[in-house]
Amino acid sequence: MNDLQPKTIFLSDYEVPDFLIDSTDLTFDLNAEATLVTSVLSIRRNPDSNKPTAPLILNGQELKLQSVALDGTALSAQQYELDDEQLVIASTPDTFQLTIEVLINPQANTSLEGLYKSRTMFCTQCEAEGFRKITYYLDRPDVLSEFTTTVIGDKTEFPVLLSNGNAINQGDLADNKHFVTWHDPFRKPAYLFALVAGDLDVVNDTFKTCSGRDIALQIFVETKDLDKCDHAMNSLKKSMRWDEEVFGREYDLDIFMIVAVDDFNMGAMENKGLNIFNTSCVLAKPETTTDATFQRVEAIVAHEYFHNWSGNRVTCRDWFQLSLKEGFTVFRDSEFSADMNSRTVSRVENVSLLRTMQFAEDGGPMSHPVQPPSFMEISNFYTLTIYEKGAEIVGMIHTLLGAEKFRQGSDLYFERHDGQAVTIQDFIAAMEDASGRDLTQFKRWYSQAGTPNLKVSDHYNADAQEYELTFEQSCPSTPEASSSDKKPFHIPVAIGLLGDAGNLPLQIKGSGVNSETEDNTNLVLELTETKQSFVFSDVKEQPVPALLRGFSAPVKLHYEYTRDELMQLTRSEDDGFCRWDAGQQLAVQVINDAMDAYRAGDEYEVDQRLVDAYSAILSDQSLDKAMTALMLQLPSEAYLSELADQIDVDAIHYARQSVRRQIANKLKGAFTSTYKANTSAASYSPSAEQIAQRSLKNVCLSYLMLLGSDDSLELAQDQINSATNMTDEISALAALVNCEASGAIAIKDQALGAYYNKWQDEALVINQWLSVQATCSLPNGLDRVQRLMQHPSFDIKNPNKVRSVIGAFCNGNAINFHCEDGAGYKFLADQIIVLDAMNPQIASRLLTPLTKWRRYAPEQQELMKTQLARIKASSSLSKDVYEVVSKSL
């Protein structure tokens, strides 16, 4: 910031708006440098406001005001006040019409917020507070208005003119221009407004709703991408059907449109009836798109579609309620993905993300409650905590209430609050009212930040045949509250007890225990106190406890399993999550040994039990192949870092690598035969079966490539050359690029060159090529990244390119980013300073790895802090970057 610090906004200061806007009539006369926006607003004083003489204060940024008229009479400059952030009219009637004309410059808008140009098209992004860059307005989610939008543009350049709702009028104008008028019958906050104009092609389809209405479905793309829309369209139809069947939600408008744009800060946006997507989250075809992206497209299309109810029909009162729509909608899209694919695999993937990334966020300087009490810049709060932890909380409600009561709660919520802007507390109240359960204590999940620790101990009394489990919870200090001030959470813990022959029947001794029995081998214990014990009777043998089945709560569980117990769980635990996690815990123990040896300069021979476990997994034909592939992967460097007291980047990298290489050596035969058995000539489909098969095959390949033998190099080359899909092509390329063998150098360069020549016209494919190189863990990573930034395919104004190169390097290449002299940190700070002047949201997000400085050794801490301080001292910092830098120093 230049001089004054940005101000902090508090949830506790919330007041209802002093004015309401019943209708909003917009006209856009599109022009790249000077678009004229005319708005006609029907305004009245809010009967619920207790300030009957309050001035009208409209938000506005980067606007050139042309005129303001009240009930048709132009206001003179003395009748209003104008500054960089608002337009204030001190005295107004109780009901009136305000007409405002502003000029905006979409071409110069590199923040990608408001109205901007992406390549040849105009598009908008208004969430959270971007509408104020379009015109003066009450830009807050509790002001709901009926929008009518007329878009005027050149007929040749912009044959397609779109906005929310239904097209109600269109026609030709002078000077080769034309117009389309759109009307959205559903009142909405300004953040859901959208406009698109361009020379776009369209894929059309239809959907018949449960009540028999026909909905027109359209996906708009540039002509070159017309062949990449089928998967998104199928995903959309599946989402629409699923939301009817599982949540009883029918689509409301007669048309649903999706537009793909290249320059976009996030994944996608749920604008009413006109979702706008980052091309990376909607386009897909086998030759260019990996399996992971096929699944991502399906999930994001669903997520944005589901917002039509959880977000649009029922919206947020203020931005402190962001998780009301995001947590609930992520829960809904995760359930959808679980139903469309393997439920266990989906769950493991979600938990992995949560434990690696969200736990790290919750333990860092930006840690915040799911309902934050304050913020400077709301864009900084589109976090893993709001989205993923928010979804876990909704999931816990689902566990506590059961599927049926949960559905009744959701129905009541939508029915009670349709057309309203509400709070997280309203959501909980609907769940309570429908189920009769008291969620008072449970609500602490929304107000207390930090990941709870859950220590579990046990005792078996053979004489009494009783088994006791004791749980102790605590929550670390976070910026808003110290550990000692935190109150116990209400935690659902799903458990089972394993005996030699499988699950033991569970019977709790005594009374007064809040547990809900699903069957007699699976129990949900409800923890509500700091320390709590449960005694099971009739336990005939010393059991191994299976704890937190399905990851029933977002906590860090601590129970001292022996390696043999972990082996038993990986072999025979029923719950897929616990079974996978047991393998992870075993591997963590082994890698920790390897790290100790690395630091002592000793050789380390891998614990044979881990090799045996992997060997058993490879030959277990009863396992789903996607599960086999997951279970064969060692915990990531990021997860190992999250578990460490102090992150030792080198030890983590080299220890993990050494364990991987030894496993590859010892199980070479099994990896080779599994690889061969899963090579298929079938034509590509993104089906669960095929995805599972490819992922298992490629896990085997990555192990075999660690051997660096001529055989394995040949295997990778053959796979690249014969690949019929991007999953196989890019997996082999990544394995080759990371191969240390000297024989690989020439082969790599040749393969990278050939890939570029083949795909240079496909931006999204080139992004993968950039990422593969940016994340290569071999020495001299920083040089490689700096060279990539000089490559013609790089463009610092395009967020996808920035994420593929700078983001990939700083977040996915620890060994190079954390190089000893701090050059990686300086590089990142340089990029942030450049980017902040163009796109503050992207600059701010990119900062994350530097904010984690407290987790590293003292010398590294100093180097990281120096760069943060440098960023903080740079002139005209955005609010976004200022908030993150100042909170993390």
Asked whether the CA dihedral 234, 237, 239, 245 is positive or negative, the reply is negative
Instruction: Work out whether 304 is an interface residue with ligand TRP (CB under 6 A).
Output: yes
> Among all residues, which ones are annotated catalytic?
304
> From the CB of 656, what's the least distance to ligand TRP, in Å?
33
Instruction: Work out whether 293 is an interface residue with ligand TRP (CB under 6 A).
Output: no
Neighbours of 885 (CB within 10 A): 25
Contact segment (CB under 5 A) with Zn ion among 167-175, 318-326, 389-397, 604-612 equals 318-326
Nearest to 414 by CA among 303, 322, 329: 329
Alpha-carbon radius of gyration of the chain: 28
Burial 773-783 (b: 16+ CB within 10 A, else e): bbbbbbeebbe
Integer CA distances (angstroms), 822 to 528, 827, 872, in order = 46, 9, 18
> From the CB of 280, what's the least distance to ligand TRP, in Å?
13
> From the CB of 267, what's the least distance to Zn ion, in Å?
8
> From the CB of 233, what's the least distance to ligand TRP, in Å?
19
> To the nearest 10°, the Cα dihedral for 866, 868, 869, 874?
130
CB contact at 8 A, 21 and 145: yes
Nearest to 276 by CA among 289, 266, 285: 266
Question: CA 321, CA 11: separation in Å to the nearest integer?
Answer: 9
Helix (H), strand (E), coil (C) string for 14-25: CCCCCEEEEEEE
Task: DSSP letter for 223, please.
Answer: G
Contact segment (CB under 6 A) with ligand TRP among 92-100, 261-269, 624-632, 665-673 equals 261-269
Instruction: Work out whether 268 is an interface residue with ligand TRP (CB under 6 A).
Output: yes
> From the CB of 303, what's the least distance to Zn ion, in Å?
6
Instruction: Work out whether 297 is an interface residue with ligand TRP (CB under 6 A).
Output: no
By a kind-dependent CB cut-off of 5 to 8 A, residue 388 interacts, out of ligand TRP, Zn ion, none, with: none
Nearer to Zn ion by Cβ, of 390 and 635: the residue is 390
Nearer to Zn ion by Cβ, of 329 and 473: the residue is 329
What one-character-per-residue DSSP string does 146-211 give? Answer: EEEEEEEEETTT--EEEESSEEEEEEE-STTEEEEEEEEEEEE-GGG--EEEES-EEEEEEEE-TT
Nearer to Zn ion by Cβ, of 301 and 613: the residue is 301
CB contact at 8 A, 298 and 231: yes
Instruction: Work out whether 846 is an interface residue with ligand TRP (CB under 6 A).
Output: no
Contact segment (CB under 6 A) with ligand TRP among 138-146, 262-270, 395-403, 639-647 equals 262-270
Q: Which of 41, 203, 269, 832 binds ligand TRP (CB under 6 A)?
A: 269
Nearer to ligand TRP by Cβ, of 295 and 379: the residue is 379
Instruction: Work out whether 627 is an interface residue with ligand TRP (CB under 6 A).
Output: no
The residues, any chain, with a CB within 8 Å of residue 407's CB and separated by 6 or more, are 247, 248
> From the CB of 123, what's the least distance to ligand TRP, in Å?
11
Q: Which helix (H) or strand (E) holds 100?
A: strand 95-104
Place of tokens 């994350």: 848
Question: CA 655, CA 651: separation in Å to the nearest integer?
Answer: 6
By a kind-dependent CB cut-off of 5 to 8 A, residue 266 interacts, out of ligand TRP, Zn ion, none, with: ligand TRP
> From the CB of 870, what's the least distance to ligand TRP, in Å?
26
Nearer to ligand TRP by Cβ, of 118 and 379: the residue is 379
By a kind-dependent CB cut-off of 5 to 8 A, residue 128 interacts, out of ligand TRP, Zn ion, none, with: ligand TRP
| Amino acid making up residue 194 | A
Contact segment (CB under 5 A) with Zn ion among 323-331, 409-417, 813-821, 861-869 equals 323-331
By a kind-dependent CB cut-off of 5 to 8 A, residue 379 interacts, out of Zn ion, ligand TRP, none, with: ligand TRP
Instruction: Work out whether 142 is an interface residue with ligand TRP (CB under 6 A).
Output: no
Nearer to Zn ion by Cβ, of 422 and 630: the residue is 422
Nearer to ligand TRP by Cβ, of 285 and 303: the residue is 303
SS3 content of the chain, % helix, strand, coil (to 5): 45, 20, 35
344-403 residues near ligand TRP, rule: CB under 6 A: 379, 382
Nearer to Zn ion by Cβ, of 203 and 324: the residue is 324
Question: CA 547, CA 371: separation in Å to the nearest integer?
Answer: 28
Task: Give SS3 for 406.
Answer: helix
Integer CA distances (angstroms), 833 to 111, 877, 885, in order = 14, 8, 12
Q: Give the interface size with ligand TRP as a residue count (CB under 6 A).
A: 13
Instruction: Work out whether 262 is an interface residue with ligand TRP (CB under 6 A).
Output: no
327-356 residues near Zn ion, rule: CB under 5 A: 329
Q: Give the interface size with Zn ion as a residue count (CB under 5 A).
A: 2
CB contact at 8 A, 572 and 498: yes
By a kind-dependent CB cut-off of 5 to 8 A, residue 341 interacts, out of ligand TRP, Zn ion, none, with: none
Task: DSSP letter for 262, please.
Answer: S
> From the CB of 880, what's the least distance to ligand TRP, in Å?
10
The residues, any chain, with a CB within 8 Å of residue 321's CB and separated by 6 or more, are 371, 422, 423, 424
Instruction: Work out whether 301 is an interface residue with ligand TRP (CB under 6 A).
Output: no
Nearer to ligand TRP by Cβ, of 315 and 860: the residue is 315
Asked whether the CA dihedral 554, 560, 564, 565 is positive or negative, the reply is negative
> From the CB of 356, what's the least distance to ligand TRP, in Å?
20
CB contact at 8 A, 759 and 288: yes
Contact segment (CB under 6 A) with ligand TRP among 124-132, 543-551, 575-583, 704-712 equals 124-132
Give 425's strand partners.
Answer: none
In the chain, what's the furthest Cα-to-Cα distance? 95
> From the CB of 304, what's the least distance to ligand TRP, in Å?
6
> From the CB of 271, what's the least distance to Zn ion, in Å?
12
Q: Which residue is nearest to ligand TRP (CB)?
A: 266
What one-character-per-residue DSSP string does 639-656 give? Answer: HHHHH-SS--HHHHHHHH
Instruction: Work out whether 125 is an interface residue with ligand TRP (CB under 6 A).
Output: yes
Question: CA 657, CA 444: separation in Å to the nearest integer?
Answer: 41
Q: Which helix (H) or strand (E) holds 86?
A: strand 86-89
> To the nearest 10°, the Cα dihedral for 12, 13, 14, 18?
160
CB contact at 8 A, 188 and 253: no
Instruction: Work out whether 145 is an interface residue with ligand TRP (CB under 6 A).
Output: no
φ, ψ for residue 558 (rounded to 5)? Answer: -125, 110
CB contact at 8 A, 700 and 262: no
By a kind-dependent CB cut-off of 5 to 8 A, residue 582 interacts, out of Zn ion, ligand TRP, none, with: none
- Say how far residue 269 (Cα) sits from the centre of its chain: 13
Instruction: Work out whether 883 is an interface residue with ligand TRP (CB under 6 A).
Output: no
> From the CB of 310, what's the least distance to Zn ion, in Å?
9
Contact segment (CB under 6 A) with ligand TRP among 8-16, 267-275, 594-602, 773-781 equals 267-275
> From the CB of 757, what's the least distance to ligand TRP, in Å?
34
Instruction: Work out whether 270 is an interface residue with ligand TRP (CB under 6 A).
Output: yes
Instruction: Work out whether 773 is an interface residue with ligand TRP (CB under 6 A).
Output: no
Contact segment (CB under 6 A) with ligand TRP among 266-274, 398-406, 854-862, 876-884 equals 266-274
Instruction: Work out whether 80 is an interface residue with ligand TRP (CB under 6 A).
Output: no
Q: Which of 61, 150, 235, 265 binds ligand TRP (CB under 6 A)?
A: 265
By a kind-dependent CB cut-off of 5 to 8 A, residue 269 interacts, out of ligand TRP, Zn ion, none, with: ligand TRP
Nearer to ligand TRP by Cβ, of 385 and 532: the residue is 385
322-351 residues near ligand TRP, rule: CB under 6 A: 326
Chain residues binding Zn ion by CB under 5 A are: 326, 329
Site residues (CB under 6 A) for ligand TRP? 125, 127-128, 265-266, 268-270, 303-304, 326, 379, 382
